[in-house]
Amino acid sequence: MLRPFAAAERPGSARGASELTAAPVVDVVVPVYNEERALEPGIRRLHDYLSNDFPFSWRITIVDNASTDGTRSQADRLARELPRVRTSHLDRKGRGFALRCAWGASDADVVAYMDVDLSTGLGALLPLVAPLVSGHSDVAIGSRLAPGSHVARHPKREIISRTYNLILRAVLATRVRDAQCGFKAVRGGVAQRLLPAIEDDGWFFDTELLVLAERNGLRIHEVPVDWVDDTDSRVHVVSTAIGDLKGTARMAIRFARGRGRVDLGPFARAPLSDDFGRRAVSFSLIGAASTAVSLVVFLLTRAPIGPIGANVAAVTATFVANAWAHARYTERRSRPRWVRSLALYAGAIASTSAALALVDAVTTSLTAQVAVLVATWSLAAVARFVVIGGSR
């Protein structure tokens, strides 16, 4: 299990003794597994940056995940040679397990982590932690998919990463652009509250941390990064991707069962007392887009299946996307309220079909049919806002 941290200073130094006992503002955790080639240059480069260009007090924590090469002895040597570096050694693998142990034991105001290969440019570290130190945000992540980022990586990794993040946004309705980037930070008190709720100890740990933080109303700050892929990475892309997909399914089931709430205590953010304006505008934009798509479907299918059938097809075509968009943008939820949504869907079909039948008894004019559809779809949208979007 977790071995006590090794000394981070040379003995006999008054300065070293004070730095060992004083809690730093930022604790940068570097989890490693069989990284004896990358460990020393990576840690020395990080140490130089923190010593010369970082304004907050800091500490580097190297966490060895049961390495079988010379990583452990090298980490211990670096802890003896470099000020404010300490190490711990675990008896099993798992990046999430390493972060759980190191963050859980840290006394820093902000806990962070990065990969030992320093794929992320260190210039992003200060923008990453500054919003957490100030209290403006609770979690900060580096993003390779945010505007302003500069990324050099293999096409296969890029495709897998983008696909995975699209799946996350669709299934869990997260706003996070890049859940997997190995460059994150959390306010120390927030981490202590979130860690017990995170079940995964592997690569999905990052994603689970983010979706739990987002679902519980915490503020997540994204930083565009410069990223260059490590050609000697220990990550097995396929197995990691499969594990991430399983984790995504598990989280979706967890949220569907009404679980996932975390007692954040004093770190909880109070919801806005009134955000009606934002919700009303978002609702209107979603309604306009949904109406436009439904109208196109109606016009394309009216001739072959008739106006009533075309109306059913049009409403059905936008139902799932409509429910998901409203959950994400107007209800501030991670999943739609499907029972209410299904009831409103059935009501919309019944009311619009009845209106079409009445119009059809008088005239077969396409203009009249379109007019009554737009009117009844709009009334159905208002009903949805009152029943779902207008209440939280």
Catalytic residues: 206
Express the helix, strand and coil content of the chain in percent, nearest 5 each.
55, 10, 30
| Nearest in space to 179 (alpha carbons), one of 194, 160, 164, 158 | 164
Confirm if 192 and 202 have CB atoms less than 8 A apart.
Answer: no
How many Cα atoms within 13 Å fall on the side-chain side of residue 306? 6
**DSSP codes joined into one string, 152-202:** E--HHHHHHHHHHHHHHHHHS----S-S--SEEEEEHHHHHHHGGG----S
Of the candidates 34, 11, 43, 195, which has an alpha carbon nearest to the alpha carbon of residue 105? 195
Encode 323-343: b = buried (16+ Cβ within 10 Å), e = exposed.
bbbbbbbbbbebbbbeeebee
What is the C-alpha separation between 377 and 310, in angstroms, rounded?
A: 14
Rounded CA gap, 52 and 54, in Å? Answer: 6
183-187: strand order across its sheet? 85-90, 58-65, 26-32, 110-114, 183-187, 139-143, 220-224
Backbone conformation region of residue 318, classed left if phi is above 0, alpha if psi is from -120 to 50, else beta: alpha
DSSP state of 7: P
SS3 category, 250: helix
The DSSP bridge partners found for residue 226 are 150
Which region holds residue 44: left if phi is over 0, alpha if psi is between -120 and 50, else beta? alpha
